[in-house]
Amino acid sequence: MTAINEFIASEVKNNDVVLFMKGTPGFPQCGFSGQVVQILDYLGVDYKGVNVLTSDDLRQGIKDYSSWPTIPQLYVKGEFVGGCDIIREMFQAGELQDFFGEKGVSARGAA
C-alpha cells in the first residue's frame, strides 16, 4: 500500500465523517465541494474536510481508493457514500438525514 493510500485509509477509519474536497470547509474551491459543505453544515454534522488540492498524489489517490472519478467524496464510518450529486439527491429526499441517524452520527441542524 502506498503512503497516500495509507493516509486516505487512516482518515476514513479515524473520522466518523470525512469529506475529501477541493479547498477547505471554510473556503471551498469548487462549486460541488461547496454544495456538500453547505448540506453538511445545514444538517449540523461534525466532519473533517481534507483538501485534495494540496497534493496531486492525494487528488488521484482518492479517486483510485474509491474507484470514483470525481471529487468531492463523502465517507461516513468508513463507508463511501458518494459525490455531490448523490449527496444532494439523498439530502433532498430526506435520506441523508436518516443515513446519518442509522450510522449513529449526530445531525443537529434544521433537518
Tens digit of pLDDT for each residue in 69-81? 999 999 999 999 9
Burial label, 12 (beta-carbon count in 10 A; 0-12, 13-18, 19+): buried
Length of the chain in terms of residues written = 111
In this prediction the pTM is 0.94
Is there a contact between 18 and 48 (Cβ–Cβ < 8 Å)? yes
If you average pLDDT over residues 32-55, what whole number do you get?
97
Q: Where are the beta strands (DSSP E) in the chain?
A: 17-21, 23-24, 27-28, 48-51, 73-76, 79-82
Q: What is the pLDDT of the chain when averaged over all its residues? A: 95
Phi (first) and psi of residue 104, to 5 degrees: 80, 25
In this structure, what C-alpha cell is assigned to residue 14?
479515524
